[in-house]
Amino acid sequence: MADVPSDLTWKRAAPEDAQGPGPWIEIAFGAGELVYLRGTGDPATVVTTTVEKWEAFAKGVVAGEFDHFAEAETGTGARTEAGTDGADAGAAADEAAGI
């Protein structure tokens, strides 16, 4: 894993009305086209990717390519938190990606 710079500015991807620490993802854009992602529950674990890959992911969220993960089907996919939906996730991804 790459070293994580100490001067990153982390942005939380959460619905506007979210209360508490929640199970959110935080993102920071670093030098050299690197993007850092971490979960609020375990901020010491950081995943690094590139801006190009992050933008492709964010566009996929907006296009609905991952909606099946958020659908509340019986035994499949991940369920969204009460009061959120794919639109909230897409808006958060758009904002974080700057698109």
List, in order, residues 6 or more apart from 21 with CB less than 8 Å away: 40, 41
Determine the structural domain holding residue 85 and report its residue range: 21-97
Residue 84 lies in a domain: yes
Average pLDDT over all residues of the chain: 79
Residue 81 lies in a domain: yes
How many distinct structural domains can be found in the chain?
1
The pLDDT-based confidence of 35 (bands split at 50, 70, 90) is very high
Task: Identify which has the larger pLDDT, 62 or 97.
Answer: 62
- Measured CA to CA, the distance from residue 7 to residue 56 in angstroms comes to 25
Residue 56 lies in a domain: yes
Residue 2 lies in a domain: no
pTM of the model: 0.66
**What is the arithmetic mean of pLDDT over 71-85?**
49
The pLDDT-based confidence of 53 (bands split at 50, 70, 90) is very high
Residue 15 lies in a domain: no
CA 40 to chain centre: 11
Residue 65 lies in a domain: yes
Residue 50 lies in a domain: yes
Residue 67 lies in a domain: yes
Q: What is the pLDDT of residue 14?
A: 86
